[in-house]
Amino acid sequence: MTVVIVDPPLNLSLFDRQAPERFTSVAPGVETWLVGGHSMGGVRACELAEEAGALKLFASYCAADISTPEKIAEHRDALPGGAEMVEIAGASHASFGDHWPQNSDGTPTIDDAEMDAAVEDAVAELLRSMP
């Protein structure tokens, strides 16, 4: 497995307008790519999803604000039919990395180690299912 982690300008991925080839050229032998991101990083990943084999969003969305379970259900049809949703019970928006809490985040009821393990398990499962 090859992992390419982008370090965007000002730590804001929406400012990173590099073409996917900038990253895929690092590993020319890789045929299937997964793009993903947390929060606004996921919004940027959605812009690249058509050129990848899979998309992973962490407390993020594509083209519409689906930051609550109700909004996720409302916009579910905007995702591909095979999209799988995984809810990490006890997580908040800020639980997905080194991120500061925002007003509507809620308070997480799981600790960082539990959160990390849940994310790792979900991503590993996705990678195992990829061609």
Please report whether residue 20 resides in a domain: yes
Whether residue 67 lies inside any domain: the answer is yes
The C-alpha atoms of residue 41 and residue 35 are separated, in whole angstroms, by: 10
How does pLDDT run across 78-93, given as a tens digit for each residue?
Answer: 777 777 888 888 888 7
Evaluate whether residue 73 is within a structural domain.
yes
Tell me which residue of 114, 80, 76 sits closest to 96, measured CA to CA. 114
Domain range for residue 98?
9-129
Kindly report, residue by residue over 21-51, the tens digit of the pLDDT: 877 888 888 888 888 888 878 888 888 877 7
Could you write out the DSSP letters of every residue in 50-90?
Answer: GGSSEEEEES--SSS---SHHHHHHTGGGS-TT------TT
Query: pTM for the full model?
Result: 0.55
3 occurs within a structural domain: no
Domain total for the chain?
Answer: 1
